[in-house]
Amino acid sequence: MKKYVLELIVFICGAAVMVLELIGSRVLAPYLGTSIFVWTSLIGIILGSLSLGYYYGGRISDKYPDYKIFSLIIFLSAVCVTFIALLKFLFLTFLMGQVEDIKAGSVIAATVLFAPPSILLGMVSPYAVKLKIKDLAGSGSTVGNLYAISTVGSIAGTFLAGFWLIPQFGNTAILYGIAVVLLGTSILVYARGPLLIKAAILILIMGGMAGHLELKKALADNGVLDIDTQYSRVLIFNGSDYKTNRPVKYMQCDTNSNSAMFLDSGELVFEYTKYYDLAAHFKPDFKKSLMIGGAAYSYPKYYLKKYPNAEIDVVEIDPKLTELAKQYFDLRDNPRLRVYHQDGRIFLNKTENKYDIIFGDAFRSSHSIPYQLTTKESAQAMYGILNDGGAVLINIISAIEGDKGKFLRAEYKTFKSVFPQVYLFYVQTGEALKSQNLMLAALKSEEKPQFANDDKQLNLFLHNLWTAEITDDLPILTDEYAPVDNYIMELL
């Protein structure tokens, strides 16, 4: 073997491990979400698999210190990655039909899809060490050098995946790309191996890539777009409203349909978004609002039309969603609309703007919630940028009582620790044990509001005020302790 080829190989395989791990979160997201449980399962399974790879790689290399076997190991890792790309949809769809528990589903999915290639890639470094060592005198340096290079490869793979590959290419294309690189690496190790088999695998990879591209084209031709952004996997598709059967365009980020618009009018599709109009009841003279969470900008568009004398700032962490909203959801530039592309909590911490109303729509998924927006410190930041008499209106998916209501009760208590008045409105049903959209209203005012309005629709919303006592059985959420993922697990 030529000098430094083994170093190059451990670098490539180290990079492949981390690209695979990061893309793994995107593969699982549409089916399992992006909660801490999914990440824990993915990281834990891959680390465990690498450990097995180190163990067996060392033993196999002692028994068979052969470049042909070394090449075969890398070749098999390419085969495993190819099968992830080919079978992930069928397997994950089947799994979700059989396993309801997110923790169990995450562990099973990570094990079946990502353990095999991770074990094989874990075998690469100890095998390379065995092939590289010529005598015991320099063995320590050889081991240290190769493992350092492998780690540098993992670092490079991490930045490559996070900063470039995932934002630029789809999950399936990246998986096929990893497979091609690993296949090429196996040939680099031992070019005289079973070329017919390797050629067949290359044809399979290329065929899979071509099929994937054709499928994406066919879906696009039928109005379904599948797009990966820096933050999520986004599906845009046409459907119909289940109540009226009117045509609707949906935006789905990971597991949930986050935004939608009627194709025949500018009305709001989701019932909970209509409850944001309670702003006009609690602060009738509002002039400037903030919305945390934009997605397809359904409510901001409606707001600009309904309140022609008011302004709205929208904080949306994902600039690609804003771009898609402009391209597919009729979002237009407007002097009364300002968009900030950053994390909602960072914006709250840094902004010097003042607002009459704050709309919270970052909790749209029941699979994953940005916990940093749920805490007392976040509520204090909202309080600080509200004008006197202002209101915060936050959409929460939860029950009110029982295990499925834990997140709501914790969030309700958290806001009550900051705001003089906090109220709750149910959107779908007055049953405390039912999971649904709930609108939490926190007021920066000591003056008790009326719960009646001359506007018929507002009066209907106000009629859905939750008047029963809410159980005080959970701690206030803080930046130090906010077990939000544990609470929302009860909803799944």
Q: Which residue, 247, 277, 271, is CA-closest to 261? A: 247
Distance CA 99, CA 97 (A): 6
User: Could you say which of 361, 455, 472, 473 is catalytic?
Assistant: 361
Distance CA 89, CA 61 (A): 35
User: Vertex 402, ends 397 and 404: CA angle to 5°?
Assistant: 30
Sign of CA dihedral 254, 257, 262, 263: positive
Q: Catalytic annotation on 455? A: no
Distance CA 319, CA 188 (A): 40
Q: Tally the residues of the chain.
A: 492
Distance CA 348, CA 380 (A): 9
Q: Give the CA diameter of the chain.
A: 90
Distance CA 64, CA 60 (A): 6
From residue 427, alpha-carbon distances to 145, 266, 424 in Å are: 61, 21, 10
CB 60 within 8 A of CB 69: yes
Distance CA 59, CA 56 (A): 5
Count Cα neighbours of 262 within 13 Å in the Cβ-side half-sphere: 15
Distance CA 488, CA 93 (A): 22
From residue 418, alpha-carbon distances to 249, 406, 422, 442 in Å are: 38, 19, 9, 9
State the catalytic residues: 361
